[in-house]
Amino acid sequence: MISVDSGPRPNTGLRSDLAALLTAYARHDPPRSIAIVGNAPVAPDPARAAAIDDSDLVIRMTSFAVDEPGATPALGARTDVVVFHRGVVASPNLFADYTARLYLLVEPGRLHWEPERLPDWWPADLGFQNVPNREFTVPLNALLGFDPEVAEWSTTGTLTAYVMTELFPAAKVRMTGMSIIERPDQTTFAHAWGESVQVTAEHRLHAESALLRTWMDTGRIEVLP
């Protein structure tokens, strides 16, 4: 197990700047409630959808889905922040209304082998903010007990939960669409939009599931069924 103290000390200025940027897209300063919507499909539930859309800040990730007009609500329709990576498969929602959203690029693979090149099919004027690896990925990997010399890192959903709870510890952080909590043995990820994808070699779902359950028990996050 890697000691958390072995990682870098938090950069207060960097964290303050990122928190201020996120707050600029929220309905309240600072956000009192944050919804993190993962990619896993969920059953229709108007109450869940309302809880998501009523949050001060709504965050979705990668190939995400939103409720379509006329459909029974399940995931809500608002999107304030998109958390994504270079290998994203774009759903119709990913770049919709992109000038009105904040895009956070996660790149844990840059600690190992991932190149800096960006896909040429992204909007040419897309602005985004990198999630700093040394500030967030490295300490989260330490919490998960990962070897820093090995190419292993969390899923985007768990990293997003870590970033938001670190930046806004007083906020109520709700998560949904996170199948790894109940199904850490899965080898494929079913998505609310698009086809299922393979769980890639760098992920250790049992470690993530255990950490997320600890956060649930301590009230750091709440999971919407």
**SS3 state of residue 221:** coil
Q: Is 175 in contact with 38 (CB distance < 8 Å)?
A: yes
The residue whose two tokens read 């897209």 is 25
Q: Tell me what the pLDDT averaged over the chain comes to.
A: 94
In the chain, the number of structural domains is: 1
Mean pLDDT, residues 38-58 taken together? 98
pLDDT score of 221 more than 50: yes
Question: Ramachandran region of residue 10, left (φ > 0), alpha (ψ -120 to 50) or beta?
Answer: beta
Task: Please give the residue that has the higher pLDDT: either 101 or 4.
Answer: 101
Instruction: Determine the pLDDT at residue 204.
Output: 96
Distances (CA, A) of 95 to 159, 165, 213: 21, 26, 32
- The pTM of this model reads 0.93
What CATH number did the domain enclosing 17 receive? Answer: 3.90.1480
Predicted local confidence at residue 114, as pLDDT = 87
User: What pLDDT was estimated at residue 8?
Assistant: 59
With 80 as the cut, is the pLDDT of residue 6 above it?
no
Count helices and strands (H / E) in the chain.
5, 9
Residue 117's domain comprises 4-223
The pLDDT of residue 110 is above 70: yes
* Band of pLDDT at residue 10, cut at 50, 70 and 90: confident
Q: Does position 35 have pLDDT exceeding 90, yes or no? A: yes
Asked whether the predicted pLDDT for residue 189 surpasses 50, the reply is: yes
**Amino acid 21: pLDDT:** 98
Residue 161 above 50 pLDDT?
A: yes
Average pLDDT over residues 41-61: 98
